[in-house]
Amino acid sequence: MALDDRKSEFNFVGTRPDRPDGLDKVTGRARFGADAYAPGMLYGAILRSPHAHARIVKIDASKAEALKDVKAVVTRADFADVPFKPGLEGEFWSVLENVMAGEKALYDGHAVAAVAATSALAARDALKLIEVEYEVLPHVTDVDKAMAPDAPVIREGAADYSVPEGMHPNVVRYHESGHGDVEAGFAEADLILEDSFVTEATHQGYIEPHACLGSLGSDGKGELWCCTQGHWYAQKYCATLLGIETAQLRVTASEIGGGFGGKTTVFIEPVALALSRKANRPVKIVMSRSEVFRATGPTSSASMDIKIGMKKDGTITAAEGIFRLQGGAFPGAPGDMTAMCAFAPYNLTNVRQVGYDVLANRPKQAAYRAPGAPMGAFAVESVLDELCKKLGLDPVDVRLKNAAHEGTKASYGPTYERIGLVETLEAAKAHPHYSAPLKPGQGRGISCGFWFNHGGETSVSLALSEDGSAQVMVGTPDIGGSRASMALMAAEVLGIPYENIRVTVADTATLGYNDVSHGSRVTYASGLATIKAARNAVERLCERAAAKWGIPVDAVKWENGCAVPSGPNAGDFDPMPLADITADMGATGGPISGHFEATPEGAGVSFGTHIVDAEVDPETGKTAITRYTVIQDAGKAIHPTYVEGQYQGGAAQGIGWALNEEYIYGEDGRLQNSIFLDYRIPVASDLPMIDTVIVEVPNPGHPFGVRGVGETGIVPPLAAIANAVSNAAGVRMKRLPMSPPRILAALKDNG
Amino acid sequence: MVEVHLWSGLRSLTGGQQVVEVQATTTGELLRELVRAHPQLQAPIDAGVSIAIDGRVIASGLTEPIPEGSEIYLMQRLRGG
């Protein structure tokens, strides 16, 4: 399905070599967050609020501090005061407040104190001796209830400039965008459908809990080892929250057992450092699974209203969406992103979208692949499916008829550059899956999805060795196989084998600043940086060859790993391989390296189309996904196996989100299902083979055409699965997850 | 002069205008000029904005050149996972 006519130019890019971290991962040699130890190390544990909303009247830790095994206790008083340094308010304040509660506990599981002791058991026992006096306050966990006039106010004055007058103080941000005249558009429609949808919060479900080992001395110098998607971010936030200079804290990222956006912030890391500073010994903290669920960053939950008008021929005349997202007790729910992405796949004359960011007594939401986009797609694509059904139209044809393409004015404003949505829809229509017969009781659903993708600050350093091998230092933790992709891109430029290149995720002391591994940015931005760093090294190699040959440097070019004369007039010299140049580089000018530091700004947006078959058991309400096909534009797949893995992972996580996963809160505001037994993520036996099709419409903003692929894959599944289940069950499912009790209730309501 | 298209939620800060004309040759200059024309735009710009130039989204860069006659959209700053 390669639509990239440049494919033949690549020697390494597009191949599928073994992953460089494979042996480490299968033998247990890879070191994850909890695998670090230090002499004299203490173990930290965190006391968490049992209340969803409570004023902290008093904390008495004297009994815990009296234990001989306890070496330090910290509370909010042990962190830096706000306001911070100039410009460090806002999100820094929210992160501090989330890391350790101040005046109020804002959700069940909110940290209120922490202990460091000589063993993990002693630390946990000591927590029981800390006496906290709470004044329990009214709470709210549901997004619609949090916006109602009688909802308890979670934080007065948290709303920003954007919120219209008269809204509840829990509404903290408002977004409105679109173009055209939706009322005029609806007047042109032959059929208008309007409906409401709800999704619950879910967790990324990464298998590795958060873990870290921190050491901070009274001299303000520290070391931190942690499981993170971005160690420069951890460095910046920890330094700020502890009131030390950023450069004095060296942070090393461990191997990472999944993140998906959930490890783009800090939770336990500043606590370990605060405990270490007080105890004057290294402190290790490892979260339990229950802590991960209660006190890290799940997705927002959402309540949405959609209205779409369509002509009999399938043309969409107008579309409108209201998206209300709660993101916990802090500003940041991506209602704006939901709104901007929801209608982005379509070429619309009249569109209006509104997003709300609402506070509730839940943990601070974090990103989960394409944050905000999946829920919006669920609502919009469900209404589109219903319109197709009522008008007797083919759902792929209708999407093709309305699909955005190069030159379309996006629903969020600008005009699209070259994009690949139409190609994914054409591939869906041509795929055998789309025309395969369904058995009785089965239904088929399709959905499109969109995500922006991101560039971000990026530094890469590439150093050549005397034997002609190369080491590449990147600053983006490898969450999706990026070491293999970087090695392939470096091999492509240098012309040396993939196996001769070692890619290392450098620590904060050995490389320039790097943005987090998020926004599907790593293969795009670190990849672009690796290519440019390698080209930088190639320039040095050509200079050395030119000097050896005694010809001008512009008479030398680089070809297949060798310096060669650029033309017949440059002289008659045999190709000079890279290793011949590096062998004596110390004596011909010194070490040869290449560097790149910049913020690439050409990530290129991405689209996908998913096809799903589902079978619903009308007696139990249980759904089985019987067939799944992911089609997505990768721009250029550097290592196709990893790209397919990203596609399959998005589908697998989407199946969990659509069918089973949800945060369940009791009337008391406490999370009811904080372990994997009660919060059920899909396992292998729940999943069919997930077929993949890589479409390649090159991104003009990347030297090899790469578009990020990490996030778009989570956007269509909720909608595609909901459409399949609704078609199988014969009733429109408007609430996620579509768990067996909800399906049974819907079947019953439908008679 | 370039026309800067705002998202409609910003109209309340610009006296109802959704398109603002400013003289700017870079993204940084554009943001400064927007605030000069409409001081209330400082808040959304401080909260984080991206700028789309002819469809290419500039997430945060202030030094990107703005070609004469290009299509400019102000967008809320993108976030990712």
Residues contacting residue A460 through CB under 8 Å, at least 6 positions apart = A472, A473, A474, A475, A486, A511, A526, A529, A530, A532, A533, A595, A596
| Predicted pLDDT of residue A98 | 96
pLDDT confidence of residue A2: 45
pLDDT at A93 (0 to 100): 83
Stretch (H or E) spanning A282: none
Residues whose CB is less than 8 angstroms from the CB of residue A632 and which lie 6 or more positions away in sequence, other chains included? A424, A606, A607, A608, A609, A647, A692, A693, A694, A695, A709, A712, A713
Residue-by-residue DSSP string for A365-432 = P---SSTTHHHHHHHHHHHHHHHHHHHT--HHHHHHHHB--TT-B-TTSSBP-S--HHHHHHHHHHSH
Tens digit of pLDDT for each residue in A438-478?
A: 999 999 999 999 999 999 999 999 999 999 999 999 999 99
CB distance B55–A602 less than 8 Å?
no
Distance in Å, alpha carbon of B21 to nearest chain A alpha carbon: 16
Q: Would you state the pLDDT for residue A85?
A: 44
Contact A449, A373 (CB under 8 A): yes
From edge to edge, which strands make up the β-sheet containing A442-451?
A442-451, A606-616, A623-633, A690-695
* Model confidence, pTM: 0.96
Low-confidence ranges of chain A (pLDDT < 70): 1-8, 81-89
CA A337 to chain centre: 13
Could you read off the pLDDT of A21-71 as tens digits, one per residue? 999 999 999 999 999 999 999 999 999 999 999 999 999 999 999 999 999
Report which DSSP code applies to A524: I
Residue A8 has a pLDDT of 52
Q: What is the pLDDT of residue A750?
A: 87
Q: How many CA atoms lie within 13 A of A76 on its CB side?
A: 21
Task: Kindly state the DSSP code that residue A210 receives in the 8-state scheme.
Answer: P
Given this model, what pLDDT does residue A3 score?
Answer: 46
Mean pLDDT of B20-30: 96
Q: What angle do CA A723, A727, A733 make, to 5 degrees?
A: 60
Across the A/B interface, how many CB contacts are shorter than 8 Å? Answer: 102
H or E, element range at A172: strand A171-179
Q: How many CB atoms lie within 10 A of CB B63?
A: 11
Longest dimension (CA), chain B: 36
Would you state the pLDDT for residue A80? 78
Q: Which residue has the tokens 């089965």?
A: A442
Q: What is the ipTM of this complex?
A: 0.95
Q: Which of residues 38-67 of B touch A (CB under 8 A)?
A: 40, 43-44, 47, 52, 54-61, 64
Mean predicted confidence (pLDDT) in B14-26: 95
Tell me: pLDDT of B63 over 80: yes
Q: Are A613 and A628 in contact (CB under 8 A)?
A: yes
**Residue A486, phi-psi category: left (phi > 0), alpha (psi -120 to 50), beta (remainder):** alpha
Which residues in chain B have their CB less than 8 angstroms from residue A175's CB?
7, 9, 76
B-facing residues of A in 167-196 (CB < 8 A) are 174-178
**8 Å CB contact between A63 and A131:** yes
Smallest Cα distance from A98 to chain B, Å: 19
